[in-house]
Amino acid sequence: MLAATDMTRNDWIQTYTGRAYFPAAPRAEDVDIRDIAHALSMLCRYTGHVTRFYSVAEHSIHVSNLVPPEDALAGLLHDGTEAYCNDLASPFKRHLPDYKAAEARNWLAIAEHFSLSPDLPQSVHDADYAMLFAEKAQLFQHPPPMDWAIQPRGAVPDVGTLGMVPMVAEYAFLRRYRELTHGRYIKLA
């Protein structure tokens, strides 16, 4: 991890709430649920190659609802790193070990901030994986030109992908967050 002295004035991003966030050297105290909710609501899954806008925030809400209650907050935040490092298509990301390491550092900051385990529960991995197939069936206009390299491991969840507009997805994400935490961890400034 980079030390603060190794960073330059240009190694930060400005978040929705106006903070400076250092994605190469993330700190738990710089994480804000409002930044995560807003950014994920503005990011479209599948690099936008779907029939309608479908945000990472909406996907995360579905994952949160599919896991046991004790794993629901981890399910909601499992893609939280994308708020700070964006996302890359999985087939491309697999070839970028430095990116994956930076993404892992950002997850550790998020996990620390929200008092989550640094290791995502298996139920979150399973729900995230299952959602791929629900989304595949609902969000792609054409059949795949070749088989996806992955196959369902069980029943595909009966979840409707609404394609919420960003403002609605952000509100729904924060509402789910508040349900799970009773308002804990919300920074007001």
187 token code pair: 């920074």
The mean pLDDT of the chain is: 91
Question: How many other C-beta atoms lie within 10 A of the C-beta of residue 154?
Answer: 9
Q: What is d(CA 28, CA 75) in angstroms, rounded to the nearest whole number?
A: 18
Q: What is the mean pLDDT of residues 72-79?
A: 98
Predicted pLDDT of residue 112: 98
Q: pLDDT class for 189, splitting at 50, 70, 90?
A: very low
Whole-number percent of the chain with pLDDT over 90: 76
Lowest-pLDDT range, 64-73, 84-93, 149-158, 179-188? 179-188
Q: What is the mean pLDDT of residues 12-40?
A: 97
pLDDT for 34-47, tens place per residue? Answer: 999 999 999 999 99
Predicted pLDDT of residue 8: 60
Looking at residue 107, its amino acid is W
Measuring CA to CA, how many Å separate 167 from each of 38, 115, 139, 152, 159?
8, 27, 20, 31, 21
pLDDT for 124-177, tens place per residue? Answer: 999 999 999 999 999 999 988 988 888 888 888 899 999 999 999 999 999 999
Predicted pLDDT of residue 88: 86
Q: pLDDT class for 69, splitting at 50, 70, 90?
A: very high
Q: Where are the domains of the chain?
A: 29-181
Q: What is the mean pLDDT of residues 117-127?
A: 97
The answer to whether domain 29-181 has CATH 3.40.50.360 is: no
Better pLDDT: 60 or 87 = 60
- pTM score of the predicted model: 0.91
Closest by CA position to 149, among listed 104, 105, 90, 99? 90
The 3-class secondary structure across the chain, one letter per residue, is: CCCHHHCCCCCCEECCCCCEECCCCCCHHHCCHHHHHHHHHHCEHHHHCCCCCCEHHHHHHHHHHHCCHHHHHHHHHCCCCHHHHCCCCHHHHCCCHHHHHHHHHHHHHHHHHCCCCCCCCHHHHHHHHHHHHHHHHHHCCCCCCCCCCCCCCCCCCCCCCCCCCHHHHHHHHHHHHHHHHCCCCCCCC
Q: pLDDT class for 64, splitting at 50, 70, 90?
A: very high
Predicted pLDDT of residue 63: 98
- Cα–Cα–Cα angle for 52, 158, 67, rounded to 5 degrees: 105
Q: What is d(CA 107, CA 118) in angstroms, rounded to the nearest whole number?
A: 7
pLDDT for 1-11, tens place per residue? Answer: 445 545 566 79
